[in-house]
Structure 1
Amino acid sequence: MSVVIIGAGLAGASVATELRERGDTRPITLIGAEPHLPYERPPLSKDLLLGKQDAEAKAFVHDDTWYSEHDVELLTDTTVHEVDLDAAEVVLPDGRRLAFDQLVLATGSSPRPLPMADDSGAPVAYLRTLDDAHALLAHLPERVAIIGGGWIGLEVAAAVQQAGGQAIVLVRDALPLQAVLGNDMAQVFADLHREHGVDLRTGVNVTSISSHGQGAVLTLDDKSQVEADLVLVGIGAEPNVDLARGAGLKVDDGVLVDAHLRTSDPRVFAIGDIANHDHPRLGRLRVEHWDTALQQGKYVARQLTGDDSPYERQPYFFTDQYDLGMEYVGRSKPDDQTVVTGDRAARTMRVLWVRDGTVVAGMHLNDWDATSPLKQAIGRRVDDVEWLDAD
């Protein structure tokens, strides 16, 4: 019996780690396209860009000796050519074929490209890999135009400002994070960045990008122009599903998996960014966050060692921007009702998103005692959340 894991990020490495910690001794092969050891991605837009000591070393899941000591064959800098389900083999570029009894797809996602930027001849960056982060780090004291007001864009903006540079954030919507948090909480983040000197421009579209000297000029739909030393594109990510599609697995905004993270072939699991999961409580969803990669990796290892319970964990993510720390759990929609307690002026708050009287998501800002109460509130009637009455 052998397990092959395609994708040597946090999700894939978590499968291998959990299998060994559970005493599983079958052969494991972990295949990664990058030349690096498996690493976690949150430090790329947080600690590493902020220049914190040992940030890169701490990002690695294990040191290089762990894999040999635990009999995990790690193939880095290797892009899988094909998954042959009929033969139950993974085909490598050199023609080598790896047989599997169970296969785990953890191929992650790639930044959504912006051809206008890529074809401009101007200096353009994306942030997905360790190499991307190192390239971006050299530009932080400069003037950086950031296209997109999602989590990556705002975390980079914070790093630019803290490095003494100037961030110009260009957002299509009326507010950054509007589609994720709704108007009320999105405004909190907009105010935060403006207070720290970010040139945040909302409700704008970039119509053209051209090179200018060593930098770039961006023209907006109101005919105004923005000059920058670097353009960072942060307009979302696309799941890497080509292997799954080529193998004949069912794909629709990711790889379709059931409540147990099994694909349309019961020998194959898909986890992390690519998993379009039939969540038992939330319906179909695909989550591109650190916790999902980690926990789904551990979960699949349990599946492979006999646990057949469904994956029911609520989505979770966090961010750190300036002196603001945030944790979010659940799944909300922009038009859900928000219930806010705490001190808005100090940005020390607890927030619940409520739909039809039931709590569907929760978030705290700088309230580190709130994580457990927020998790416990999910799925309850808002009138039954005791600490709301206490506040």
Structure 2
Amino acid sequence: MSVSLPMIGPVVVVGGGHAGFQTVASLRENGFTGPLSLISEENTLPYERPPLSKKLPAAADDHTELRPASFYDSHGVEVRVGEPAVAVDRRLRTVELGSGRRLDYDHLVLAVGAEPVPLPTLNRPLDGVLTLRTALDAARIRARLSSRSRMVVVGGGFLGLEVAASAAQTGASVCVVEAADRVLARVVSPLISRFLEQEHLSHGVTVLTETLVVGLLDEDGHVTGVRLADGRELGADLVVVAIGVRPRTGLALAAGLAVADDCGGGIVVDQYLRTTDPAISAIGDCANFPGALPGGGRTRLESVQNAVDQGRFVAARLMGVQPGAYDALPWFWTHQFDVKIQIAGLAGPETELRLLGDPSAGRFSVARLVDDRLVSVESVNSPADHIAARKLLGTAAVPSGARDLARPGFTLPSHAREAAEARRATAGQ
């Protein structure tokens, strides 16, 4: 029995990021012929997000659209840009836009994403203190960036480190300030953190861990530096705040939908990505969903892969061609200087680690296990390991444990081939 039947009524998708775009594209690919609307508060068609931090485009229009305007015209998708959704009437099944226009829906997809967390010590706007989420944000940073710039990046997560790497390559003086005891502390193993920190140091980036920013210095409303908890002051004419994001839940809350207080927050959805109103789905950075973590706990993920996969899933579910629960394998990547890190699977802090390869050669992987079961692989400049890990972790049963990884001559690609052959042999019996 399918989760939902094919629909003929209108579908409204709120959010112009990867999740929203993928939903409308996949609905048409799956044969949906009804009215279809994509609503985005940004004044642009959906575009590629990863290059924003990795390359810092030089202008607001210096970004790559996922599809040109002709795609939406030829596929019968009404795209409304520069106009936010401001209210949802669940009884009437309408979405009200900022212009006052109301759109009817049989099904509503919330792909509203997340927004940057502001610096707690910033009590008033200061020129030169910026965040990065959109193409316009990237253009603002790039317009101020030069070889003479002094940049302080507050936050040593993926976004902060990518911005730092991009800025350092322009010749700017860059300092990363991270409150935790290591960079990327919440998302990668200590070995990967140390390796990436050394890479930044080798390119002239200063990295301060276990360090808190407690204030900002300014002159005539323009930032001139940051004050640290230990009393030190760092000079800066550009401060990029990258201390995390929070899911955009206001629209859902006002509509009476359930929103999580823990597990990353976000709009609560079930294993089919349905909210507490079955006529409304939530996907991407704003969705809090079950099953991705080892043990099946709830989480919220911020990645293009998750956004795209969830968009595809909801489109297939609405068309009655996806009867199962959402179970796509999470994977992530970052590119900083000459280092590409790819991560397959999710792992919490309580994991057993196995090193595969030689960090001194700049090419290795870290396997992470829970209860002697492979749950995640972090690969540095090792795309073959990453592809193999996705194959291993993407199967229903993962036969990989510490004993497998300890075999003489073990490699992830060869193990993935062996596991695939074993599955084929079992299926043929």
TM-score (norm. length: structure 1) = 0.94
Aligned to 2:108: 103
Aligned to 2:177: 170
Aligned to 2:423: none
Identity %: 34
Query: Residue 336 in 1 paired to residue 351 in 2?
Result: yes
User: One-letter code of the match for 1:237?
Assistant: V
Aligned to 1:207: 214
Structure 1: distance between partners of 2:341 and 2:126: 37
SS at the partner of 2:162?
helix
SS at the partner of 1:187?
helix
Structure 2: distance between partners of 1:261 and 1:203: 37
Structure 2: distance between partners of 1:274 and 1:3: 19
Aligned to 1:345: 360
Equivalent of 1:324 in 339, 364, 368: 339
Aligned to 2:274: 262
The 8 Å contact of residues 343 and 376 in structure 2, kept in 1 or not, is answered as yes
Q: Can you list the C-alpha shifts for 1:212-258, whole angstroms capped at 9, x where unaligned?
A: 36542211111111001101000000000101111111111101111
Structure 1: distance between partners of 2:365 and 2:98: 51
Structure 2: distance between partners of 1:131 and 1:118: 23
User: One-letter code of the match for 2:297?
Assistant: G
The 8 Å contact of residues 83 and 99 in structure 2, kept in 1 or not, is answered as no
- Displacement of 1:180 in angstroms is 1.5
Query: Residue 245 in 1 paired to residue 253 in 2?
Result: yes
SS at the partner of 2:289?
strand
Query: Residue 375 in 1 paired to residue 393 in 2?
Result: no
Change (3 A) 1:143 1:118: farther
- Unaligned regions of 5+ residues in structure 1, if any? none
Q: Can you list the C-alpha shifts for 1:183-225, whole angstroms capped at 9, x where unaligned?
A: 2221111111111110111111111102136542211111111
The 8 Å contact of residues 369 and 402 in structure 2, kept in 1 or not, is answered as no
Structure 2: distance between partners of 1:132 and 1:116: 20
Query: Residue 298 in 1 paired to residue 305 in 2?
Result: no
The 8 Å contact of residues 112 and 238 in structure 1, kept in 2 or not, is answered as yes
Query: Residue 186 in 1 paired to residue 193 in 2?
Result: yes
SS at the partner of 1:179?
coil
Query: Residue 84 in 1 paired to residue 89 in 2?
Result: yes
User: One-letter code of the match for 2:399?
Assistant: R
Structure 2: distance between partners of 1:120 and 1:370: 45
Query: Residue 230 in 1 paired to residue 235 in 2?
Result: no
Aligned to 2:158: 151
Aligned to 2:325: 310
Query: Residue 276 in 1 paired to residue 295 in 2?
Result: no
Please report the RMSD computed on the Cα atoms of aligned residues, expressed in angstroms: 2.0
Q: Which stretch of the first structure deviates more once superposed, 120-129 or 104-113?
A: 120-129
Q: Which stretch of the first structure deviates more once superposed, 98-107 or 208-217?
A: 208-217
Structure 2: distance between partners of 1:345 and 1:56: 37
Aligned to 2:24: 16
Query: Residue 93 in 1 paired to residue 107 in 2?
Result: no
- Displacement of 1:40 in angstroms is 2.4
- Unaligned regions of 5+ residues in structure 2, if any? 1-8, 411-429
Structure 2: distance between partners of 1:129 and 1:4: 22
Q: Which stretch of the first structure deviates more once superposed, 175-184 or 60-69?
A: 175-184
User: One-letter code of the match for 2:72?
Assistant: Y
Structure 2: distance between partners of 1:218 and 1:136: 17
- Displacement of 1:36 in angstroms is 0.7
Change (3 A) 1:122 1:72: closer
TM-score (norm. length: structure 2) = 0.86
